[in-house]
Structure 1
Amino acid sequence: METFSSPVGQGGLFLFQFLIGLVIFVLMLRFLMRVAHVDWRNPIVHFVAKVTNPLCAPVNKVLPSRGRWDWAAIVTALMIQGLFVWVIGLLTERDFGVAAIVLASTTEIMNQLLDMMFWLIIIQVILSWVSPGYNPNTEIFNQLTRPILTPFQRLIPPISGLDLSPIAAIVSIKLFQIVVVGSIVQVAQGLL
């Protein structure tokens, strides 16, 4: 469509993608905070909860949270991403089928969640070098990465006091993205 070839159209599309990406980022952060059992007294956690509660409330009525798993955040993110893909199809005059929209939405959410885990580990490692010991401002990163790193820490004990589990976790996350999510993306692209 010619509207996206103009700078104004491209700027509008960028802004739309940015806003949708920001909403999905906050929903994925909500999901990870619940899984990690992050301290709910943290102001960042309060902010994320207040911003996402209106979006997740309708889904929470149908699919209430159980324990650490906030499925409403994931389902809401999938619905928003699916709507985004559908709107892009309308704007570009392409007819995406339901299967293509579901696969494209699922892979995008999986990629965003895995990217978030990757960057949380990187940030946590850097903060552990810069600010070792307990710091209430950086503790949220320790809490968010603990469920990710714990299985790797069981497999790889510290060597001379150096924890190599973040490297194994990062490699595993990226391999999963390339092999598993990449395979699903290929299937989705075949449907588009």
Structure 2
Amino acid sequence: MNGSFGDPGVFLVRVLFELVAFVAFARYFLQLFRANFFNPVTQAIVKITDPVLNPLRTIIKPVGRHDIASLVFALLTVFLMVWAITAMRGVGLNGTGLFIGTLYFAFLTVTNLFFWTVLLRAVASWLGNERSPGVAFLSDLTDPVVEPVRRVIPPIGGIDLSPLAVLLIIQVAQMVVGNLLMG
């Protein structure tokens, strides 16, 4: 029975795969943004991903600051999610459909990663707990994304609107890409 509330099995599969992809993409961006790898939260992500990434790195070498192995792992996770969900729904996709679905859901996963980290970072700044390892982790992930916007939209009366602008940009980008693919 597949009512208006959707399929709980598909939901659980998507959540599990997206959590793994979130961690893999976070590992990629932490490396790219030169995050503080002494941070306990960052170290936890490293410890979680190392069992998969270390063997992959023997085959797929980093290119500068780009940890290609974590990017490949994240994309493979998203590919498996798209394949599993289409199989669970009984929808047959050809190679092109799987490729486009993987790119689209990878885009959604990355933009959702930044949406939630920017939002959590903004809320943490309101609470005033700037020294915690969790807030430092969020800063490492969000500052490279928010800083360019902050240069265009400086704080007004002590209120930083750049995180709000980033959240709006992410939402609009998701709508535009979704409309291009679905329209």
In the superposition, the TM-score normalised over structure 2's length comes to: 0.84
User: Counterparts of 1:46-65 in structure 2 under 5 Å?
Assistant: 46-65=43-62
**Cα distance, 1:14 vs. partner?**
4.0
Runs of at least 5 residues in structure 1 that lack an aligned partner in the other structure: 188-192
1:155 equivalent in structure 2: 152
Match of 2:178 among 159, 182, 186: 182
**Cα distance, 1:105 vs. partner?**
1.0
Q: Does 1:43 align with 2:40?
A: yes
Alpha-carbon RMSD across the aligned residues, in angstroms, is 2.4
User: Counterparts of 1:113-192 in structure 2 under 5 Å?
Assistant: 113-131=110-128, 133-179=130-176, 181-186=177-182
1:190 equivalent in structure 2: none
Q: Does 1:88 align with 2:79?
A: no
Contact 2:14 2:85 in 1 (8 A): no
Runs of at least 5 residues in structure 2 that lack an aligned partner in the other structure: none
Q: Which has the larger radius of gyration?
A: 1
1:70 equivalent in structure 2: 67
How many pairs are equivalent? Answer: 180
2:98 equivalent in structure 1: 101
* Distance in 2, Cα, partners of 1:157 & 1:15: 41
Per-residue deviation, residues 156-179 of structure 1 (Å, max 9, x unmatched):
122222221112111111111111
Identity over aligned pairs, percent: 28
Contact 2:39 2:136 in 1 (8 A): no
* Distance in 1, Cα, partners of 2:39 & 2:116: 20
* Distance in 2, Cα, partners of 1:132 & 1:81: 34
